[in-house]
Amino acid sequence: MLIVTPIDHQAASSAAATLMRWVRSTDGQYPAEDGESAISLLPRDDELVLALPPRALSWHRVALPRVSGPRLRAALDGLLEDQVLCDVGTLHHALEPGGRAGQTVWIASTDRDRLRDWLRALESAGRPVARIAPLMWPLVPARVPGAAGATRSFAMDSPGQLHWAHIDGDQVWLASASVLGVSNVPLQDGQPLPLDALLPGANGNELRATDALDVWLADPLVSELAERVLQRPFDPVPPAQWLLRAGQTDWNLAQFDLSLSSGARRGQRWRRAWRQFRSAPQWRAARWGLAALLAAQLLGLNLVAWQERQSLQAKQDAVRNTLTTTFPQVQLVLDAPAQMQREVARLQQASGQLAASDLETLLAAVDRASGSEPLSPTRIGYDNGALRLSGWRAGEEQVRALQQALQGGGWRAQFDGNELVLQASQP
C-alpha cells in the first residue's frame, strides 16, 4: 500500500509539479519506507491511496433526503448551499462510510477541480488512485464497534477530541476532530489560541470539561511550537505514521462523478500488472520465456503450413501428370479435373457412347428417378448440357420429390417452382 498526500494542497503550481509526502507499507500497519518527492518519482505499488489534508476538506452534518444517484448529488448542493462560502457547484461531496439516503450523515466537501488535477496527475504518472481518504475526519464513539468512519489507530473515548499539529505548505496548523466535526486553525508563535477556536459549535466550558479525554499529537518538527502556543504537552507522531492512519480508515471520498468503481479498479490493476510485466526487472525472465514460447509457436505454425502447401502441391502435380499422361494432346493445363472430363466426353462421343451430359442420358435419369409413376412435362429444352423441363402434369410436391431423387443420384437438379433444370454433376 502506498499512501500519498500533497505537501501544500493550495500550491499555485500545477498538480503534476506538487511535492507529495508518501509512505509505503507491506501490511498497512507499519511503514516500510517514506519520503517526499514529485509525483513522477513516487514509488510504485499495487494500491495507491490519496490522502487529503485537513485544510482541503470541510465537514457538514446533514439529513439526507430519500433519493439516490444523480438526484442525491443535486440534493447535496441544495442542502449545503447555505453552509459553504464558495459556489457549491465547484465542490466535490462524499458521504461517510455506510451513509445512505434518509439518514443524518457527515458530508465531506472539497474543491473538485483541484482534486481532479491530482487524480489526473497521478494517473498520467502511471500511479492511478485506488482510494481517496481524509487525513482527519469527525470522530465516532470508540464504544461503538465497527462504526462508520472508525479507525484502527488513535482510539478515542467520546466525547474527547483528537488534536494534530502539522505542517501544510509554509504554515503550522492544528487540526481538531471530535463528534462535532473537524476544525483547522493556524498556529503562530506568541499568539495564544483560545479553546473555543479549536472546534466550531462547541463552547469553552464543554471543551474544558472534556479536556482530560483529549489526545494531543504533533509532527515532531512542530511539537515545540505547538506546546508553546497551547501551553500543554504534545506526543510526537511522525508524518508517516499519520499517513498510515489514513490508509486504515473506512473513509473513501471517491464517490459520485469521481467514483472509482470495482470495474475501474480492476482495470487499474490490469494496467498496473501489464506495466510491471512490461518493464519490471523481476519479470525479465518471464518476458524472455513468453517471447521464446511465441517464437516457437510461430515457427511451428509456419512449418505445418509449409508441409500442408507441399502436400497440396504434390496432389496437384499428380493430377496434372495423370491428365498429360492419359491425354498427351493437352499441352496447357488450367483446370485438370474439368479438362479431363471434357477429354473423356470426346472419347465417348468418338466411340459412339453416350456422355453424362447428353440429352438421352439426362432423360433416362429423369425416367429412373420418377419411379413407378412417371412424371410428364409438356415442354422440353436442351442447351449446353442442361435439360430444361417445364409444364409438369403433376403437383409441385411431386416435382420436388423428383428433384430430391435426382440429387440423391448425383445429378445437379434445380427447381424454381416452374422449371426443372438438370445437369451432370461437376468433377
Give the chain's radius of gyration (CA, Å).
43
Q: How confident is the model at residue 148 (pLDDT cuts 50, 70, 90)?
A: very low
Location of C-alpha cell 472430363: 341
Residues 6 or more apart whose CB falls under 8 angstroms from that of 16 comprise: 38, 39, 40, 121, 124, 125
The domain ranges of the chain are 2-141+151-279, 354-424
pLDDT at residue 153, as a whole number: 44
User: Would you say residue 32 has pLDDT above 80?
Assistant: yes
Is pLDDT of 352 > 60? yes
- What pLDDT score was predicted for residue 154? 47
Question: 5: Cβ–Cβ under 8 A, 6 or more apart, which residues?
Answer: 20, 21, 22, 50, 51, 52, 53, 135, 243, 246
Q: How many CB atoms lie within 10 A of CB 19?
A: 15
Decide if pLDDT at 149 tops 80. no
In this predicted structure, what is the pLDDT of residue 143?
45
Q: What confidence tier does 134 reach under pLDDT thresholds 50, 70, 90?
A: very high
405: how many CB neighbours lie within 10 A of its CB?
A: 17
**pLDDT at 351 > cutoff 70:** no
Please, which pLDDT band fits residue 427 given cuts at 50, 70 and 90? low
Q: Which pLDDT score, from 0 to 100, does residue 195 have? A: 61
pLDDT digits (tens, 9 = 90+) for 85-117: 788 888 999 888 888 778 888 999 999 988 998
Q: Is the pLDDT of residue 57 over 90?
A: yes
Confidence of residue 319 (pLDDT cuts 50, 70, 90): confident
C-alpha dist (Å) from residue 285 to 227, 276, 291, 293: 56, 13, 10, 12
Q: At what angle do helices 262-279 and 284-326 cross, to 10 degrees?
A: 80
Residue range 237-251: mean pLDDT, rounded:
88
- pLDDT grade, residue 196 (50/70/90)? low
| Cross-strand bridge partners of residue 163 | 176, 216
The predicted pLDDT at position 151 comes to 47
The structure's pTM equals 0.57
pLDDT category of residue 150 using cuts at 50, 70 and 90 = very low
pLDDT score, position 157 = 47
Task: State the pLDDT at residue 147.
Answer: 47
Name the CATH architecture for the domain at 354-424: 2-Layer Sandwich (3.30)
Give, rounded to a whole angstrom, the gap between the first and last alpha carbons of the chain: 71
Q: In this structure, which topology does domain 2-141+151-279 adopt according to CATH?
A: Nucleotidyltransferase; domain 5 (3.30.420)
The pLDDT value recorded for residue 175 is: 92
Lowest mean pLDDT among 32-36, 134-138, 249-253, 266-270: 266-270
> Of residues 155 and 96, which shows the higher confidence score?
96
More confident residue, 79 or 263: 79
Q: Can you give the pLDDT at residue 349?
A: 67
24 within 8 A of 31, measured Cβ to Cβ: yes
| Mean pLDDT to the nearest integer, 331-346 | 78
